[in-house]
Amino acid sequence: MRITKMDAELRRSITTFLQNYVDKCRVMVVGDIMLDRYFYGNVTRISPEAPVPVNLIGDKKNVLGGAGNVAHNLARLGCKVYLAGLFADDHHGHLLMTKMQKKGIDVEGVLIGCQNTTTKVRVLGGHQQMIRLDFEETEPPAQSKIQEMLNYITKRLKSGLDAIILSDYGKGVCTENLCQQIIYEAHRNNIPVFVDPKGNDWAKYAGADYITPNVKEVGVIIGKNLPNDDELLRRSAKVIAEKYNIKSIMITRSEKGISLFQADREIHAPTVAQEVFDVSGAGDTVIAVFAAGIAGNLNVEDAIKLANIAAGVEVSKLGTYAVSKSEILSQCL
């Protein structure tokens, strides 16, 4: 569904931003970088060795996942993107680095620092996912690697950035020390910090400017199973803001779109109607596009609506997918 005539002012705002400002935005992504591998095949028989289907693979695809997918979304918008994280000197790591470099992502801050490159392998029969194989380690990296990343991030901050995104997938990179040092240094340089959170303790994100949980993640941090209800989410956002000193709580709400809660206002952006094929990676798209909008001086309301439009495009695709500037612009015609 394209933007309606009633949204002409929003259309002008988004179009102007994408055509004239987004390529000037400098955004750093720090977090858990992953490789998403897809193997596509067809099932025509059951194995004689065990009662399992035999999938004849006809195609495969490697895409950037986790913090890499956030960076990819920013790159497809046209932003200048800097990425910091860890990978291993293994086959998946080499595939990952080649992919990031081809996408035009600055990988100076991506260091060898783990035993296994985090990889998710999905095997599909037709359009049905049959199994997922995960290769990962979740131990915190060596302190020397944390310090090396911090040195790089501090240097890049001094060179100029417009936003920093912490993309935490719980794989070990986003330690409390790293997150707090980044938030401190970013604020010293008047740069906003955006967080895509993970886990049940958000103390490591304290002081961030924006945090983008989904409803389930809000429930985890509050300690109860929350329905997708405006009033309950409003109260929960207030608790989170006060406990962790986070100014803006932006909650992704599936079919109810996105809601942002601040001390003095709230903004609700309903879902942009699309046929939903796959929601994997939608959160990456939301935080990337929203942060780019704020970095490019869009007002908060328009940045949320821009992110919502991009998310509508993303969920209409199969698998992890980075939305391009042209795809968003096509929604404004």
Which of 202, 204, 206, 35 minimizes the C-alpha distance to 133?
35
pLDDT at 4 (0 to 100): 47
Residue-level pLDDT at 279: 64
Rg of the chain taking only CA atoms, in angstroms? 20
pLDDT of residue 248: 97
Residue 134's pLDDT is what? Answer: 95
CB within 8 A of 168, min separation 6: which ones?
31, 32, 174, 179, 195, 196, 197, 198, 199
pLDDT of residue 273: 54
pLDDT the model gives residue 5: 43
Query: Is the Cα torsion angle 103, 107, 110, 115 positive or negative in sign?
Result: positive
pLDDT at 138: 82
pLDDT of residue 1: 41
Locate the DSSP E strands across the chain. 26-31, 33-46, 53-66, 80-87, 106-112, 119-125, 128-135, 163-167, 193-196, 210-211, 248-252, 258-261, 266-269
pTM of the full predicted structure? 0.94
Annotated catalytic residue within 196, 209, 284, 302: 284
- Longest alpha-carbon distance in the chain: 65
Rounded to whole angstroms, the Cα distance separating 89 from 113 reads 9
CATH of domain 5-33+65-117+137-330: 3.40.1190.20
Six token digits for residue 177: 């020390």
User: CA 213 to CA 210: how far, in whole Å?
Assistant: 10
CA angle 301, 226, 210 (to 5 degrees): 35
In order along its 333 residues, the chain shows pLDDT tens digits of 444 444 788 889 999 999 999 999 999 999 999 999 999 999 989 999 999 999 999 999 999 999 999 999 999 999 999 999 999 999 999 999 999 999 999 999 999 999 899 999 999 998 889 999 999 988 889 999 999 999 999 999 999 999 999 999 999 999 999 999 999 999 999 999 999 999 998 999 999 999 999 999 999 999 988 999 999 999 999 999 999 999 999 999 888 889 999 999 999 988 765 555 556 678 999 999 999 999 999 999 999 999 999 988 888 887 788 999 999 998 877
Asked about 278 being catalytic, the answer comes back as: no
